[in-house]
């Protein structure tokens, strides 16, 4: 039994140094949903997704969860430059990595999102990576008030405890 908001707060607290260093604004949308998950492994998955959102975003990150019937949708959203289509298609492939756009820096080995997909799959869930525009952000995630016109969304869907 994992309270999602508590797990998100723990992950964000562990990212404080990166948040300050990169000057990101971070919002955590409160939720009282609970999922079936291994606390350690869900924490690792969320930590990878949040770390990427902070690092690759332009100025802000929004993290939260929605109760959707029998499942919980955990989302991590950042404002981002428009990415080529192949990035969304290959995001979870082993060793796939893109530059950050920060003075040509390159981050990681390309295993983080692959690990996320495996962890979430072992929990019976799914994970997706997509881009949306400002209109879709306002419609689908009204509590996320991020600046910019383009956003990257990573959604994790897990069974909730009823």
Q: State pLDDT tens for residues 106-126.
A: 566 778 899 999 999 999 999
- How far apart CA 80 and CA 82 sit, in angstroms, is 6
| Sequence-distant (≥ 6) Cβ neighbours of residue 118 within 8 angstroms | none
Q: Quote the pLDDT of residue 105.
A: 55
- pTM of the model as a whole: 0.90
Q: State pLDDT tens for residues 61-101.
A: 999 999 988 999 999 999 988 888 888 888 888 888 876 54
* Residue position matching structure tokens 């525009």: 133
């Amino acid at each position: 039994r994992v309270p999602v908001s508590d797990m998100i707060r723990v992950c964000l607290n562990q990212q404080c140094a990166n948040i300050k260093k990169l000057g990101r604004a971070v919002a955590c949308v409160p939720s009282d949903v609970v999922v079936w998950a291994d606390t350690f492994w869900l924490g690792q998955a969320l930590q990878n997704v949040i770390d990427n959102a902070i690092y690759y975003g332009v100025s802000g990150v929004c993290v939260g969860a929605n109760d959707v019937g029998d499942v919980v949708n955990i989302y991590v959203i950042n404002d981002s430059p428009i990415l080529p289509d192949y990035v969304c298609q290959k995001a979870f492939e082993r060793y796939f990595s893109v530059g950050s756009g920060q003075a040509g820096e390159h981050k990681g080995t390309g295993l983080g999102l692959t690990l996320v997909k495996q962890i979430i799959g072992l929990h019976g869930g799914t994970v997706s990576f997509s881009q949306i525009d400002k209109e879709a952000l306002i419609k689908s995630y009204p509590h996320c008030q991020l600046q910019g016109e383009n956003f990257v969304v990573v959604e994790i869907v897990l069974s909730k405890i009823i």
